[in-house]
A and B are shown apart, each in its own frame.
Chain A
Amino acid sequence: MTPALPSRIEAVVIGTSAGGIDALSVVLPALPAGFGRPVFVVIHLPRERPSLLASIFRSKCAVAVREAQDKDPVEAGTIYFAPPDYHLLIDEGPSLALSDDELVNFSRPSIDVLFESAADYYGDRLLGIVMTGASHDGAAGLDAVRRAGGTTVVQAPDEAQSAVMVRAALERGPADHVLTLAQIADMLKRLGGEAR
Chain B
Amino acid sequence: MDAEVDATRQAASADIELPLLLDALYLKYHYDFRGYALASLRRRLRSAMTRFGCRTLSQLQDRVLHEPASFPALLDFLTVPVSDLFRDPSYFKAIRERVVPLLRTYPSLKIWVAGCSTGEEAYSLAILLREEGLLSRTLIYATDINPQTLQKAEAGVYDIDRVAGFTENHRRSGARSSLSDFYTAKYQRAVFDKSLRRHIVFSDHSLATDSVFAEVQFVSCRNVLIYFRRELQDRALGLFKDSLCRRGFLGLGARESLRFSTHAAAFTEMVRDDRLYQRRDDA
A residues touching B (Cβ–Cβ < 8 Å)? 69-71, 83, 85-87, 89-92, 97-102, 113, 116-117, 120-121, 123-124, 147-149
Residues of B within 8 A of A (CB-CB), count: 25
Whether A102 pairs with B37 at a CB distance below 8 angstroms is no
Which of A69, A90, A102 contacts B255 (CB under 8 A)? A69
| Residue B210 interfacial (CB < 8 Å) | no
Whether A101 pairs with B40 at a CB distance below 8 angstroms is yes
Whether B37 pairs with A120 at a CB distance below 8 angstroms is no
CB<8 Å pairs between A and B, sample of 28: A69-B255, A69-B257, A70-B226, A83-B255, A86-B226, A86-B255, A89-B39, A91-B38, A92-B38, A99-B40, A99-B226, A100-B82, A101-B44, A101-B82, A102-B80, A102-B82, A117-B39, A117-B40, A117-B43, A120-B11, A120-B42, A121-B39, A123-B11, A124-B8, A147-B3, A147-B7, A148-B7, A148-B8
Q: Is the contact region of chain B dominated by helix, strand, or loop, or is it mixed?
A: helix
Q: Which residue of A lies closest to B83 (CB)?
A: A100
Q: How far is the CA of A147 from the CA of B80 in the complex (A)?
A: 27
| Residue B223 interfacial (CB < 8 Å) | yes
Closest chain-B Cβ to A155's Cβ sits at a distance in Å of 24
Whether A149 pairs with B4 at a CB distance below 8 angstroms is yes
Whether A98 pairs with B44 at a CB distance below 8 angstroms is no
| Residue B260 interfacial (CB < 8 Å) | yes
Whether A98 pairs with B255 at a CB distance below 8 angstroms is yes
B254 surroundings in chain A (CB, below 8 A): 85
Q: A70-B226, A71-B260, A97-B226 are in contact. Are A148 and B11 (CB under 8 A)?
A: yes
Q: What 4 pairs between A and B have smallest CB-CB spacing?
A: A89-B39, A149-B4, A91-B39, A99-B40
